[in-house]
Amino acid sequence: MIERMHTGTRMSKIVKHNGTVYLCGQVGAGDSVAEQTRDCLSRIDALLTEAGSSRDKILQAIVWLADMGDFAEMNEVWDAWVPEGHAPARACGEARLARDMLRVEIIVTAAC
């Protein structure tokens, strides 16, 4: 069974299937990449909780940065957020994001 939550015309914020949670890409507010990353991860926490999961159950994360020059700053926030011993498989790349003000977007897949 597939369960979709917060479904709109274009996407669902959460999709659950066979014990796996898929989140749509999350972005955050703030001026710096650190602020945006913290806010983004807070949103991910809330969605994972709603889906019956948590950050220690993340299987994979894909991080998009508007500028790879922000890699170290984003990683400082990320490293403090990921529970020790529960680092997911992760990829990080540079991409043009949906709005010019956005500096980071994170896509997460987790177990329930």
Q: In one letter, which amino acid is 83? A: P
What is the predicted pLDDT for the residue at 105?
98
Strands 104-111 and 58-65 come out as: antiparallel
How deeply is 93 buried, as exposed, middle or buried, from its count of CB atoms within 10 A (0-12, 13-18, 19+)?
exposed
Predicted confidence at residue 35, as pLDDT, reads 98
Q: Tell me how far CA of residue 64 lies from CA of 1, 25, 92, 109, in angstroms.
A: 30, 9, 6, 15
pLDDT in tens, 9-51: 999 999 999 999 999 999 999 999 999 999 999 999 999 999 9
What is the CATH classification number for the domain harbouring 86? 3.30.1330.40
Question: What is the distance of C-alpha 4 from the center of its chain?
Answer: 17
Helices 33-50, 71-81: axis angle to 10 degrees equals 40
CA distances from 50 to 2, 40, 45, 47, 62 (A): 16, 15, 9, 5, 20
Split into its structural domains, the chain has a count of: 1
Query: Tens of pLDDT along 62-110?
Result: 999 999 999 999 999 999 999 999 999 999 999 999 999 999 999 999 9
For residue 53, what are the domain limits? 2-111
